Structures are given as structure tokens and as C-alpha cells.
A and B are shown apart, each in its own frame.
Chain A
Amino acid sequence: MNDFHHSEQDSDRFRSRVVFAGSLVLLCFLLLFGRFFYLQILQHDYYATRAESNRISLVPVMPNRGNIVDRNGVILARNYSAFTLEITPSKTMGLEDTIDKLNEIVEIQLKDRRRFKRLLEESKNFESIPIRTRLSDEEVARFAAHRYRFPGVEVKARLFRQYPENSLAAHAIGYISRINTKDKEMIEASGHEANYKGTEQIGKVGLEAHYEFELHGTAGYEQVEVDAGGRAVRIMSQTAPIPGNNLTLTLDAELQRVAEQAFGGRRGSLAAIDPSNGAVLALVSSPAFDPNLFVDGIRFDDWDELNNHPDKPLLNRAIYSTYPPGSTFKPLMALGALTTGKRTASQTIADPGFFQFGNRRFMDDKVGGHGMVDMHKSIVVSCNTYYYVLANDMGIDNIARFMGELGLGRRTEIDIPGEATGILPSPEWKQRRFKKREQQKWYPGETISVGIGQGYNAYSTLHMAHALANILNYGRVFRPHLVHSITNPTTGEVRMVEPQPVRQIELKREHVEVIKRGMAGVVREGTGARAFAGASYESGGKTGTAQVFSLKGGQKYIAGQVRERLRDHSWYVAFAPVDHPRIVVAVMVENGGFGAQSAAPIARQVFDYHLTGQRPGGPAPEVSSPEEEEESAVEQAEETTDEAD
């Protein structure tokens, strides 16, 4: 009885616990249902959006980069479509194995593998990465026959940048190459990040760099459904990319070719400008390089060769290398004298063959001197003494102010990066340049060296051409520019670059005419006469020689006895025709000796082609004649050289 009762009690307690458990179960399930209600009804929009953004990925579609053509439509940079063999790593069965087997069908060299590895490290695993570029038609056909064996490998048509004229105008055009960390920072800083999401290459130097955002175009987008591994499952919608703008240059490719060939491989540079508007007609830096080498990522040995070559082919000498202008500075000095009123054209000095300054004697190049010298003669015979005296009379501050106005010692703002400012010496410049007190002091003797274009003076060929163009244009300054117009290939809309002058220098017409006549005299009867013998047009010019090293006092400079690298630099600045100048050039041949010897013949070939269409038979010859030797680099050979440095 007791047992039964006990059992009955147990049973009741058990039932109550079952009820309790059942209630707990219901409560828990209600809690779950509440959670589901919250997620699926209250928060549905949020999670639906999350699911969509999970699922849909925007894949950028690259725009075509703009073409670059010269003023006559000659193509200098374009894109071409080539077949590449590409691997999508996530779709293959074993990457190494796939590449080994591919090698049996299409040759894959070690360098291809190396590049592939590098690209692989940088990319996301669902992107297809090129293993071989520029397949031949035969290779494409061979792969097509075996393609079933290679899941995840496909032949794709990709656009490549090509410079069909190879090294022609390489420094001006520049090149594109892979985007690096610095480029990325630049893109982010300029707010173009979104547009560059799928871009792999960017303009590194020259016009490709300066006009990067014009040339690039606007990326399009494909909305792609992707799975969790990021693999594209299907394309849902597409926004077409907008191709980049085309650049039409002021540069004349044929003139450029003539100018480059005139150098015949010698080191140097040339800048040719249309003085009426600042249009750059040719911009040479010799030797040059082939920009096509950079497009796919330059090979190490190519880079090594270019970078370590003693002639420094990567250096853009025309805008970056600066040299003392030597006697080419004299016409500018003469104009400065007229403009500041320190001289009239007819004022003469007697040249005894030297200029005595205190206890120092600055030598003329002609023993015994040139006799009575006025401004015209001073230019024609390149009389040092005239300019020693003039510099002393003008003073360094006047010289620096006037030359600065002309555009020396500052950037010309040409539309390619990497321009040097040059050095326009002045007491202020010396203070900034040197740290030690005794070095900061400006010595009056230094003014006299500056007067003949030596001393601290240092300008690029572009500087000199720019300054001369400004003079010939009667002080109207145009920014030198390589791009004539920018064309939108979609709308056909053309935007002109720079027809307006940027500033006006106060120059008098009659003063400019004196300089023009003087320079015309140099070609007619002076140091330029031999190089321009028989020309069918009238041109003006001025030779110059920049010293590579100072000779000790009294030592005679004899070109043949000096090792090639220590020979003087040869300058020539010129314009033609004299009446209505259409072209201004500044030429510099490194270690070319006297200005008339190497530089002037190059200018002759450039003028011949530009004005008469006549092509030279070969590189510009080196001419030498007794008169020219007179204009030797002993210009600065002084009795005392204590202040040379």
C-alpha cells in the first residue's frame, strides 16, 4: 500500500516535470521563432542587401588608352590587340603542372614563369593572369587544338601599348609601366582611385605621365554574380568604358627623326620651338631608348643596361641636363644692355685683348683683341672683352633680373615632368646655395664670368630655346608645349592647348632687331658661316662652348689633346628665317668641342628640313675651321683662377 502510494506520488511528480519540460520546450521554440521573425521580417531589408552585395561584384572593364600622334597624324603611341595565354589559377588542377604541360605546346620561358609568379602574388585568385604574351597565330592554333586538356587556361585578346616609332621622341612621349606603390599614392591623392581599380599600368615619364588622366579614359563596369570563392558565375549588366582622349602633338615626327639622326649617336640634346606660339617642334635627347621595353615590365638585363650605360640614355637631357651656355649667352646680354639702357647699339669699346679688373686680367679669345667693337660686331665675332666690360657695368643684379624675365633659372612649365630649374647666378642664389659664410659672398669677378655665359650659369637646351623664342616674339612669352590639342574620340570634340601668351616681357622692337641682325651676322660672316654655307634661307645663330673643366692660366686649349669626356660642350642657338622666324633651336653636343664644330651642323640639318623639306644624307658632320678655333674655350682662361670655384 505504502509502495503503491509512493509510486503514485512519483508518477505525479514525473507528470508535473513533463509538463514543466514541455513548457520550457515551447518557450525555447517561441524564442527561436522570435529570432527568425526579427531576422526575416524586421531586418529583412538589411540582410537582403547584404546577400545581394555578397553575390554581386563590380568588375572594372578597362578603357582604351588614348593614342598619341604628331602634328601630321603620324602615330607615336597606340594600343594593339594581341593574343595572350592566360591562366585563372583557381580553375586549374595544379598550377605548376598546368604550366609544365602548356610548355609542350607553347614555349614558356623562364622569364615568362618569373613574371607570372610576380603577377600571381599581386592579383586575386579569380583573375586571369597572362603566362605568355604576343602569341603567334600558329601558337594560337596549336593551343586551340589542345585546349580541352587545360581547364582554366584560355587565349585572350588584350590591348598592349605600343610605340611604333620605337625610340623616336622617346623622352618626350615617355612610356607606361606597371603601377607601383608611389603611383598608387598619387592616384589616391588625386581622387582617381575608383577609375584605376582595374588599371595595371600608368604613364611613368614624358607625355604619358603628364597627360595620364587625359589618356586613361573612364573605366566601365560589369556587374557579375560571384560565388563565395569570388569566381564569376555570370554577367548581369555592363557599363561600357569610355576610351581615353587622343593627343595631337605640336611635334613633327619627321623633323624629330632628322634631328635625332643628325646627332649620329653623340650625346646631347636639342629643343626646337615655334617662337610664335611656343609649340615644341622637336625635342631630342641623345642617345635615346626604346620605350616598348617598359610596357610589359622591363626585363632585368634591359634595365641594367639602360640604367648603367655611361651615356645615360634614360636621362632627358633636353629638359634636365644644364650646362653653362657659353657665348650663346652674349645676345641675351646684349639685349639686356639695350633694355636696361646700359648700352646703345652703336656705342663702341676698344678691345686690347683682355679686360683688366683690379689685379686680374680676363682674356679675350683673340690675341691682341678685336679692335673697335660695337654691339653688332660683339655678337658676330663673339668678343669676350665687350661682355666683360658690359657685365661689370650692368652688375649682377641687373643681369639676374633681366635673364630671369627671359625665362632662365626657372622652369618653363613644359608639359612633361622632370624639368630642371637651371641656375641663374645672383648674390641671393649664392646665399641659398652655399652654407658656409665665406662661400656665400658674391665676388665682383664672378659677375664678369657670368657675362660671357660661364661661371655658375647652367641652363638646359629648352631654357635657351625658350629664352630666344621669347626675344624673337618681342617679349610675348608662350609656355613651351608638346601637345597641340586633345581629342575626345567619342564625341570628336577637340580642345586646344595653350594658344595664349602667359606673360609679356618689356622689350623694344628695335632692340630685338639689333640682336636678330647680330645673330644673322654670325651666320653670314661669323662662326656659323661654315655650317650654313649655301643655305637657301637666311638664319641667325650664335655658337657657344661650355667648359667641362677649367684650364690653368695661360694653358692653351687644344681639343685633340684632351680626352673625349673632357672636351668642351658644344652649343648652338639659332632661328630662321630671320625676317619672320618660324623655328628656334638650341642644340648642345656634350664634349662636342667648339659650338660651330658639332652643334651648328645639327641646327643646319633641322632648318633645312623644316624650311625646305630637304633631308640630310647622314648625321651632321663635324666642321672645323681656323676662325672657329679662335672662338675657343679660353674665353675664361684668366690670369688668376683663384675665384673659379
Chain B
Amino acid sequence: MKLIKRLIQGIFAHLDLPLFMIVMALMGIGLMSIYSATASDGFWKLDRQLINIAASTVVMFAVARTPPQTLMRFAVPLYLLGLVLLIAVALFGIVVNGSRRWISLGVMRIQPSEIMKIAMPLMLAWYFQKHESMLRGKHFFVAGIILLLPIALVLKQPDLGTSLLIGAAGFFVIFFAGLPWKVMLGMGAAFGAAMPMMWSMMHDYQRRRVLTLLDPSSDPLGAGYHIIQSTIAIGSGGGLGKGYLNGTQTHLEFIPEKHTDFIFAVFSEEWGLLGNGVLLVLFTLLIGRGLMIAAAAPTLFSRLLAGALTLVFFIYAFVNMGMVSGILPVVGVPLPFISYGGTALVTLMLGVGILMSIHTHRMLVKK
């Protein structure tokens, strides 16, 4: 009896209630929208997502209990494992829809780029922590290499969305570590100058996505169809929405990928600007809480990690809503905690767990 009580206490001791409640609210909205999007197929997608949520919540609790020092020990092995697997993908990966993203491990297929989403900030935070007292230019240079190596491999698959997320995660660590503004501006200028070259290296479908973003009506039945239909869904939702389960764009199947990447259109059609406002507030609270945790974190490693992971949530949310509402190109980025899908959810909840771990272990470190 006492044992169980202690166990429960042990679990909840490392729970950050505000963060937990925000995430649960988001996942609740997600379940609701997934049901609306997939009601015609019955309940099975909803059931699967419930299992995904349960599993990823367990992962979150487990990680939250793990002290940051322990997490730090995983940094290098996880990064190297991810890198090796990415190289393996490039050599023996399985091609699906023209992209080489998966590797077969006999019983299951895994997507190593997913590991990198966590391994990258972990590795860079570890690296800066290691050189904390004497950070110089060369350390930023090495960090850049650590960052670019896996990104290049993921871009090669090609997977624009994931490389963007990995790149963002790594960049945020470097940013918080104090990369001088001058260097950032210089890099920005260099990036702008390199644009034409990148254009020439892009795959046709990536170029099309950029072009259809600029003018979706140029290809209304092809690549522009997604953006046009999701924009219609959002716009026709109006101020208060069409009402739950009443979205015509959703229920008459006009929205593509409606339970995954385009689920925001489903939600927005049925709940309108009001719903969107609530969602934006929830994400703002999530990010605000994350940044507070980062600001309060005791070590460089935990500060950088918490800050970077929080901003990754932001990037997910911003890029997804931006693309569905037609102001950003269509890249395969799900809406965090809302879109259907187990892998992304586990990665996200792992991040939440790390944030909780950092927050709940800060006193212990200080002692």
C-alpha cells in the first residue's frame, strides 16, 4: 500500500501541472478533430490515437523522472546512433513515395530522422555544456558541423519538413548558447545569396510547392489543390465556425490529409476564428511555460535544451498553421499534439518529458 502511494508520489513529483494541462487540452482538441475528420470510417483512428496518447504519456512520465544529468549521458550515443542510421538509410533505405526515409529492422520500419529531432538539441546542448567556461568561435563552428551533417542526410532523402525541424532544433540551441548577432545576420545574408543555388538543387516537387505557395491558383487540381481547399475550409468557417461535425469541406472529403497534416483546416472550419484564437492561446501558453522553464533552468545544458525544445514546438505549430492557411509552403509538418500519428506524438511528448525533468530536478541540482 505504502509502496503504491510512494510510486504515485514518485510519478507526480516530476509532473509539471501547467505544462501537463496545456498538453492534455491540446490532445483533447486533437482527439475531437480526428473524430470529426475520420467519422465516416468509424472509430478506429480515434482508438489508435488514444493508444498513441497513452503510450506517449507513459514515455513523458518516464523521461520526466529521469534527471537531466542522466539525459546528458545519452546525448553522444543517441546522436551517433541517429547519424549511423541516417547513413544506413541513405545506403539501404526503403523508398516510399519517391523518398528514402525508412530503414527496415526486420519486424518494424523506423524513420531515423525522427530520432534526430531529439538527439540534435541534446547533442548540441551537451557540447556547449562541455565547453561552458570557454566558449569561442571555433566551438560555434564545430556546433555548425554537428548540425549540418544530419541535415544534409535528411535533405538528401528528401524530407524538407523534417530537415527543417532538425535544423531549427539545432539552431535554437546555438542561438541560446549566444551565437553573436553579427554572425547570425551574416549567415542570413549568405543564405539569401545562396537561394538561387538552392533553387537549382531542389527537387521538382519542392520547387512546385514553392511556386504553388506563391500562386495556388496556378495549379488548382494539382499541388495547389491542398492549399486552395484548406483555405476555403478556414475562410468558410467564419467567426464562430460551422459547428462541430458540420464542416462541409471536411465531411465531403475536400480537405486532403485531413486527420494528419491538414487537421487544422478541419478544426478551423468547425470552430471558426474563435476556435483558432483558443488554439493560439494554448500554444502561446505552452511556449510561454517552456521558456519560463528554460529561464529558470540551473545549468547551461538544461537551459539550452529547454529553450530549444520549446521553440521546436513553436516551429511545428507555426509552420503547420502557416501552410494550412496558405502563407507558408506545404512541408510535411504535423500540428503538434493535434495531428493523428504515433511517431510524432512520442517525439513531442519526449520533449515535454525533458522539459518537466529539467523543471522538477532544478532544486536537486542547486542543492
Contact = CB atoms under 8 A, between A and B. Distances in A.
B252 A54 contact: yes
B269 to A, nearest CB: 8
Chain A interface residue count: which class?
A: 35 or more
A28 interface: yes
Contacts of B339: none
Contacts of B276: 33, 36, 40
A15 interface: yes
**Which DSSP category, helix, strand, loop or mixed, fits chain B's interface?**
helix
Given A40-B239, A40-B273, A32 B178 contact: no
Nearest to A21: B311
B52 interface: no
Contacts of B175: 17, 21
A13 B307 CA distance: 13
A43 B287 CA distance: 30
A55 B325 contact: no
Contacts of B254: 54, 227-228
Nearest to B233: A51
Contacts of B68: none
Contacts of B280: 29, 32-33
Q: Choose among A29, A36, A48 the residue with the greatest number of B CB atoms under 10 Å from its CB.
A: A36
B43 interface: no
B213 to A, nearest CB: 13
B252 A47 contact: no
Interface string A81-124: 00000000000000000000000000000000000000000000
A6 interface: yes
Contact of A6 (B133, B268, B307, B311): B133
Interface stretch (B14-22, B196-204, B314-322): B314-322
Contacts of B283: 29
Interface string A6-37: 10001001110110011001101101110111
Contacts of B253: 227-229
B249 interface: yes
A630 B319 CA distance: 103
B238 A29 contact: no
B322 A32 contact: yes
B234 interface: yes
A570 B272 CA distance: 85
A225 interface: yes
A14 B178 contact: yes
B234 A36 contact: yes
A228 B40 CA distance: 14
A493 interface: no
B303 interface: yes
B284 A18 contact: no
Interface in A223-240: 225-229, 233
A3 interface: yes
Given A10-B300, A18-B307, A44-B239, A26 B178 contact: no
A1 interface: no
B260 interface: no
Contacts of A15: 295
Interface in B35-66: none
Given A6-B133, A54-B249, A226-B252, A48 B238 contact: yes
Contacts of A537: none
A357 interface: no
A52 B252 CA distance: 11
A39 B178 CA distance: 39
Interface string B310-334: 0100100010011001110000000
Nearest to B321: A32
Contacts of A3: 133
29 contacts: A3-B133, A6-B133, A13-B178, A21-B172, A21-B175, A25-B284, A25-B311, A29-B280, A29-B284, A32-B318, A32-B322, A35-B326, A36-B234, A39-B231, A39-B234, A39-B235, A40-B235, A40-B239, A40-B272, A40-B273, A51-B236, A54-B248, A54-B254, A55-B248, A227-B253, A228-B229, A228-B252, A228-B254, A229-B253
Given A3-B133, A17-B178, 7 more contacts: A6-B133, A14-B295, A17-B175, A35-B322, A40-B237, A55-B249, A229-B253
Shortest 3 CB-CB contacts between residues of A and residues of B? A47-B235, A51-B236, A227-B252
Interface of B: 133, 172, 175-176, 178, 229, 231-239, 248-249, 251-254, 268, 272-273, 276-277, 280, 283-284, 287-288, 291, 294-295, 300, 303, 307, 311, 314, 318, 321-322, 325-327
